[in-house]
């Protein structure tokens, strides 16, 4: 069943576009899923892609446009007129349309809105644009199926059929009162099995999960996952039902969050994609490299301060990279566990003491193991004296302990201050561990060797 | 609406369990969602938790057990008899029951299966156990709603109502022929709007996405996301409909994958949780630290080889941490972009040349910026000579180029050889970059300073 985009297909389409053979093109692409149309568009030149978007039915292209990478979509939308963009938006669910609008300039937004003939749709999009993109209000769609608690089951079926025409997928039927306040929900299953002379009031489930327009996206994702919901209604300050969020949007949200955290840990901000341009990539990466650079210069300053003693114990300098690498690795491990625990909710409450205890125990096990191996290898291989080997070993244990503590405490503190703890992983934690690690190393060597 | 597990509630429940006040306990927990019951269980002692599981209705506890962290669940299941476990499994969907069974010993599995009275359910679970956990067969549930293409719409409604009783959520109705081969699907919406005298054959949609029992979980996740599916049918080698996978299982799958990749990048293998014991944590972390340790010892060997020249140019040693940190950071950035691009499918085909070109351009921009800053600071602050500063600067640019290339090429090569490219991030890439970076530094200094 898998549809494969072959080079032949792309070439065929390029040929047909060149020939302006619209009939054949439409025939070829009629049965193709919009997600695959999006892949084809990505492979084409901008001119060909725009030609295809203009040619195909906007019911199909609107969905394909949603699937495109942001960069590709941006370039295509730039070539379309406000009227043409409006035609695409009309075919989209309101949440998708609002997402696209968010990518346009305020000027173009106004023009596009004025070109949307369906006033209700335009109004809905404008309403959604008011909410921050990552809030429940920004994630929700206006399309939903709702029934009044005072209706009968039979009346309800008729009304629902009409509403269902506008909704791609019916997950739940929401029950509201005369003032549009959310009262409960009804499953299609319940409706199918209910007697037709009953009233909605008698059959609906009053126990319904919901979020408000202000709930943060992360919290929405957490609730929907925890309670295995496929859709959740969104209410406003007056308890009025104003939209719903479906699980497919949350899947995208979770993936984006995970990718962002992953990149943050790797020292890349702004959520860049592999094919973003050099300027955007530099802006996302250079700042982190500069943090690392200043850390490296700080380390140079520390070594410089001990350079007199290093003339006496030159072999100590050999182990600086080892100390640094170990401090960095341990710090990243400890912080990753905490950041992930905070993100998936498995760490909560007053956890500093408990986590620190665990990380310190773990650091002792790992530290002592590594210190013994290094003690032996340095004595044998690098012919360090007993006190030099001891300095390196004790320093390793101390540095691992220190790195584990920094890696554990910093994300927790950031989280408590409502800063995304993920920024604490990657270059940030590595750099501070590098500097503290090297300082610790020389201080311990100084104490043991007495310089 | 958010239900909050307060310390008071936990204490109240502990008190009621101590008092063996079952009536009050049931009253208190009647309205509580199973996901919240799971949280309560996690907070209780093992004895109290087991008491609660035995007391509450297995319809509720079976779902709560599914929500528990694996470690907690394991401890509770150990205290239950095979008969009691069987009672829980009977209430679960087959895919969940099979997941639980996978956590039991083969001996206990047999006992539990023999205690399941519902033979069809037992048979279904045994069937699911045959498939690898991460394949479509291992992810699917046997519960689904299907209709025969030869039925009438009216007959279909009656039959569906009966089937729907056993299925928690109806996503799609699958259409099969007399031999149970998948023919297409039917949406509830279509069924609601179809005339009752029509046949299923006339109204169903023959174009249906599906996977086979052998499709890998990752591929299932990719297809369901790409085509925004909420459920996908699973067929066997004979095209027979054998199960379906729902999006909530895929959400869990995606989260687990993301967490595993994140941990891998941080140098933690085996997918440990924050509250796993020290032994498991050590096994997941120590190997990566040892890789870093050997890298550090390798770096010590390199510095040792140049120690004669270092007596003449002692200031060169100051910049070893800077070189090392920069090489590590750049390598992680480059590899993270590639690993992520490979994982989300945005990088495919013959990409080495294209990616290398981009990463090299980027490395030049970042490298030259950093080299200039370091050149100035080292001259002014550390009073390095012009040729020493030049060595550091040129080395920085070279090391950044090298690290970017290693970070880009290694994950691509691993991926081509069907090894998870995520292993290439974190300590692995950092360590190799450390060693190559320091070696490059000294070789360039040697060439420029002529020692």
Q: What is the DSSP string of B102-117?
A: HTS-HHHHHHHHHH--
| Nearest-by-CA chain B residue for A361 | B278
Listed range (B87-96, B127-136, B419-428) with the worst mean pLDDT:
B419-428
B293, B313, B424, best to mutate vs chain A, most A CBs in 10 Å = B293
| Model pLDDT, residue A164 | 65
| Angstrom distance (rounded) from CA B235 to CA B241 | 5
Which of B295, B314, B346 is closest, CB to CB, to A274?
A: B346
Q: Which residues of A touch B299 (CB under 8 A)?
A: 321-322, 325
For the segment B270-316, what is each residue's pLDDT rounded down to a tens digit? 667 777 788 888 888 888 889 889 999 999 999 999 988 888 888 88
As beta bridge partners, residue B146 has B174
Instruction: Please say whether the beta carbons of B429 and B395 come within 8 A.
Output: no
- Closest-CA distance, B292 to chain A, in angstroms, reads 6
Q: Tell me if A160 and B192 make a contact (CB, 8 A cut-off).
A: yes
Which of B188, B268, B369 is closest, CB to CB, to A170?
A: B188
| Residues of chain A with confidence (pLDDT) below 50 | 1
| pLDDT interval class at B436 (50, 70, 90) | very high
- Run of H or E residues at B331: helix B320-343
Q: How many CB pairs under 8 A join A and B?
A: 324
* CA A98 to each of CA A119, A125, A251, B417: distance values in angstroms, whole numbers, following the listed order: 15, 5, 18, 42
- Closest-CA distance, A28 to chain B, in angstroms, reads 16
CATH 3.10.580.10 intervals, chain A: 145-255
CATH 1.10.357.20 intervals, chain A: 278-449
As beta bridge partners, residue A185 has A174, A205
- Closest-CA distance, B415 to chain A, in angstroms, reads 16
What are A144's two structure tokens?
């939903």
Q: B41 or A277: which carries more pLDDT confidence?
A: B41
Q: Tell me if A304 and B318 make a contact (CB, 8 A cut-off).
A: yes
CATH of domain A278-449: 1.10.357.20
Which of B69, B318, B336 is closest, CB to CB, to A262?
A: B336
Packing angle between helix B386-416 and helix B352-381, nearest 10 degrees?
160
Q: Is the pLDDT of residue B350 over 70?
A: no
- Closest-CA distance, A278 to chain B, in angstroms, reads 6
| Angstrom distance (rounded) from CA A90 to CA A88 | 6
- Closest-CA distance, B47 to chain A, in angstroms, reads 22
- Right CATH for B7-139 from 1.25.60.10, 3.20.20.70, 4.10.520.10, 3.40.50.720: 1.25.60.10
| Nearest-by-CA chain B residue for A269 | B333
What are B275's two structure tokens?
């509250």
Alpha helices (runs of H) in A56-150, residue ranges in sequence order:
58-67, 70-79, 82-91, 94-102, 106-115, 119-129, 136-139
| Angstrom distance (rounded) from CA B393 to CA B391 | 5
Q: Tell me if B438 and A321 make a contact (CB, 8 A cut-off).
A: yes
Which of B226, B293, B365 is closest, CB to CB, to A373?
A: B293
Q: What whole-number percentage of chain B has pLDDT above 70?
A: 93
Which of A2, A281, A304 is closest, CB to CB, to B362?
A: A281
Q: Tell me if B300 and A373 make a contact (CB, 8 A cut-off).
A: no
Which of B301, B323, B333 is closest, CB to CB, to A285?
A: B333
- Run of H or E residues at A185: strand A182-186
- Closest-CA distance, B107 to chain A, in angstroms, reads 32
Instruction: Please say whether the beta carbons of A59 and A91 come within 8 A.
Output: yes
- Closest-CA distance, A47 to chain B, in angstroms, reads 22
> Residue A131 has what DSSP assignment?
S
Q: Tell me if B164 and A189 make a contact (CB, 8 A cut-off).
A: yes
What are B176's two structure tokens?
């099969």
Q: Which residues of B touch A425 (CB under 8 A)?
A: 266
Query: Residues in chain A, how many?
Result: 451
| pLDDT interval class at B1 (50, 70, 90) | very low
| Angstrom distance (rounded) from CA A206 to CA A183 | 6
CA A312 to chain centre: 52
* Homologous superfamily (CATH) for A145-255: CBS-domain (3.10.580.10)
Rg (CA), chain A: 30
Strand B241-246 to B231-235 pairing: antiparallel
Taken in order B271, B273, B274, B277, is the CA torsion positive or negative?
negative
CATH 1.25.60.10 intervals, chain A: 7-134
Q: B346 or B105: which carries more pLDDT confidence?
A: B105
| Angstrom distance (rounded) from CA A195 to CA A198 | 6
Q: Which residues of B touch A161 (CB under 8 A)?
A: 192-193
Please calculate the CA angle B201-B203-B208 and round it to the nearest 5 degrees: 85
Which of B193, B320, B365 is closest, CB to CB, to A321?
A: B320
Q: Is the pLDDT of residue B106 over 50?
A: yes
What are B116's two structure tokens?
């399941």
Q: Tell me if B438 and A300 make a contact (CB, 8 A cut-off).
A: no
- Non-local (6+) Cβ contacts of B387 within 8 A are B448, B449
| SS3 assignment, position B325 | helix
| SS3 assignment, position A238 | coil
Question: Which class is domain B145-248?
Answer: alpha beta
Q: Is the pLDDT of residue B377 over 90?
A: yes
Q: Tell me if B325 and A292 make a contact (CB, 8 A cut-off).
A: yes
- Closest-CA distance, A366 to chain B, in angstroms, reads 6
- Closest-CA distance, B332 to chain A, in angstroms, reads 6
DSSP A6-38: -HHHHHHHHHHHHTT-HHHHHHHHTTS-HHHHH
Overall average pLDDT of the B188-200 stretch: 73
For the segment B239-270, what is each residue's pLDDT rounded down to a tens digit? 999 999 988 888 888 888 888 888 888 888 76
Mean pLDDT of chain B: 86
| Model pLDDT, residue A1 | 46
Overall average pLDDT of the B344-372 stretch: 83
| Angstrom distance (rounded) from CA B284 to CA A67 | 38
What are B361's two structure tokens?
């351009």
Q: Which residues of A touch B209 (CB under 8 A)?
A: 1
CATH 1.25.60.10 intervals, chain B: 7-139
Q: B127 or A274: which carries more pLDDT confidence?
A: B127
> Residue A317 has what DSSP assignment?
G
Instruction: Please say whether the beta carbons of A235 and A182 come within 8 A.
Output: yes
| Angstrom distance (rounded) from CA B163 to CA B167 | 7
| Angstrom distance (rounded) from CA A263 to CA B301 | 33
Query: Residues in chain B, how many?
Result: 451
Q: Tell me if B223 and A366 make a contact (CB, 8 A cut-off).
A: no
- Closest-CA distance, B3 to chain A, in angstroms, reads 10
Question: Could you report the predicted ipTM of this complex, rounded to two decimals?
Answer: 0.74
| Nearest-by-CA chain A residue for B303 | A318
B349 burial type by CB count under 10 A (0-12 exposed, 13-18 middle, 19+ buried): exposed
B152 burial type by CB count under 10 A (0-12 exposed, 13-18 middle, 19+ buried): middle
- Closest-CA distance, B443 to chain A, in angstroms, reads 17
Which of A33, A262, A427 is closest, CB to CB, to B329?
A: A427
* CA B426 to each of CA A282, A412, B430: distance values in angstroms, whole numbers, following the listed order: 21, 22, 6
Question: Which CATH topology does A7-134 take?
Answer: MgtE N-terminal fold (1.25.60)
| Model pLDDT, residue B427 | 79
| Nearest-by-CA chain B residue for A318 | B300
Q: Tell me if A426 and B332 make a contact (CB, 8 A cut-off).
A: yes
| Model pLDDT, residue A394 | 95
| Angstrom distance (rounded) from CA A229 to CA A231 | 5
| Angstrom distance (rounded) from CA B153 to CA B159 | 10
Dihedral, B394, B396, B400, B402 alpha carbons, nearest 10: 60
What are B269's two structure tokens?
């293998």
| Nearest-by-CA chain B residue for A6 | B349
| Angstrom distance (rounded) from CA B287 to CA A168 | 50
Residue B225's CB: how many other CB atoms inside 10 A? 19
Instruction: Please say whether the beta carbons of A35 and A67 come within 8 A.
Output: yes
| Model pLDDT, residue A136 | 93
- Non-local (6+) Cβ contacts of A380 within 8 A are none
| SS3 assignment, position B186 | strand
Which of A35, A160, A346 is closest, CB to CB, to B273?
A: A346
Q: Tell me if B35 and A226 make a contact (CB, 8 A cut-off).
A: yes
CA A294 to chain centre: 29
Which of B290, B314, B326 is closest, CB to CB, to A293?
A: B326
| Angstrom distance (rounded) from CA A3 to CA A7 | 13
Q: Tell me if B296 and A207 make a contact (CB, 8 A cut-off).
A: no
Q: Which residues of A touch B436 (CB under 8 A)?
A: none
A4, A262, A283, best to mutate vs chain B, most B CBs in 10 Å = A262
Strand B182-186 to B173-176 pairing: antiparallel
Instruction: Please say whether the beta carbons of A147 and A200 come within 8 A.
Output: yes
């Amino acid at each position: 069943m898998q549809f494969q985009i072959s080079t032949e297909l792309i070439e065929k389409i390029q040929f047909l576009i060149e020939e302006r053979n619209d009939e054949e093109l439409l025939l070829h692409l009629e049965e193709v899923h919009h997600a695959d149309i999006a892949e084809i568009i990505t492979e084409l030149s901008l001119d060909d892609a725009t030609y295809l978007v203009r040619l195909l039915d906007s019911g199909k292209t609107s969905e394909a446009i949603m699937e495109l990478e942001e960069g590709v979509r941006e370039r295509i939308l730039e070539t379309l007129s406000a009227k043409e963009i409006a035609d695409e938006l009309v075919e989209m669910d309101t949440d998708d349309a609002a997402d696209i609008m968010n990518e346009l300039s305020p000027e173009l937004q106004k023009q596009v809105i004025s070109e949307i003939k369906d006033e209700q749709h335009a109004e809905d999009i404008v309403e959604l644009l008011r909410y921050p993109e990552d809030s429940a209000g920004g994630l929700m769609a206006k399309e939903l199926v709702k029934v009044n608690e005072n209706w009968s089951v039979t009346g309800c079926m008729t009304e629902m059929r009409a509403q269902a025409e506008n909704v791609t997928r019916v997950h739940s039927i929401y029950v509201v009162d005369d003032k549009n306040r959310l009262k409960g929900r009804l499953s299609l299953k319940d409706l199918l099995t209910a007697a037709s002379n009953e009233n909605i009031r008698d059959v609906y489930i009053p126990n319904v999960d919901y979020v408000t327009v202000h709930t943060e996206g992360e919290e929405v994702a957490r609730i929907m996952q925890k309670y295995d919901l496929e859709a959740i209604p969104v209410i406003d300050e007056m308890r009025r039902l104003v939209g719903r969020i479906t699980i497919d949007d949350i899947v995208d949200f979770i993936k984006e969050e995970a990718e962002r955290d992953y990149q943050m840990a790797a020292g890349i901000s702004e959520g860049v994609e592999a094919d973003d341009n050099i300027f955007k990539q530099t802006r996302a990466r250079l700042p982190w490299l500069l943090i690392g650079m200043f850390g490296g210069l700080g380390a140079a300053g520390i070594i410089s301060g001990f350079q007199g003693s290093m003339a006496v114990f030159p072999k100590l300098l050999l182990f600086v990279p080892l100390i640094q690498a170990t401090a960095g690795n341990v710090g990243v491990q400890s912080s990753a566990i905490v950041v992930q625990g905070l993100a998936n909710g498995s760490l909560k409450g007053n956890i500093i003491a408990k986590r620190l205890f665990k990380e310190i125990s773990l650091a002792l096990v790992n530290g002592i193991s590594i210190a013994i191996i290094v003690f032996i290898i340095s004595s044998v291989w690098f012919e360090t004296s007993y006190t030099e080997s001891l300095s390196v070993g004790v320093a390793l244990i101390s540095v691992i302990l220190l790195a584990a503590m920094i890696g554990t405490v910093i994300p927790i503190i950031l989280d408590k201050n409502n800063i995304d703890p993920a920024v604490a992983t990657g270059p940030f934690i590595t750099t501070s561990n590098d500097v503290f690690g090297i300082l610790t190393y020389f201080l311990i060597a100084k104490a043991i060797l007495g310089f």
